[in-house]
Copies of this chain bind each other. A is one copy, B any other.
């Protein structure tokens, strides 16, 4: 359970940066070297290495160094737990707001009944 929570912490933190999400989108289309990614996102090699390292620690990217080139590809984690957490939250959210809607409708009904009694 602790590991599950730590995994969610790490993944959501990895996803909280527009460049890192862009890297994942890019690797969803094709593998790329750190140099390719740095050029595409107009960033220094050092800056891109840091972002890739965060993604790698979250299991979202794997890298392999052959000669002088480090190639990045999508990693083993496919955001199943994150999708499940968000879905559960959306269901709770809907249930809470449905309950609120019912309270408001109930108040409206009572107000109408009260108004029609006054008109008689």
Contacts and interface: CB of A to CB of B under 8 A. Distances in A.
Q: How large is the interface on A (under 10, 10 to 19, 20 to 34, 35 or more residues)?
A: 35 or more
B82 A29 contact: no
Contact of A28 (B8, B29, B80, B89): B89
Contacts of A18: 5-6, 8-9
How many subunits of this chain does the assembly comprise?
A: 2
Interface string A37-69: 000000000000000000000000000000000
B12 A16 contact: yes
A12 B93 CA distance: 17
A78 interface: yes
A21 interface: yes
A79 B89 contact: yes
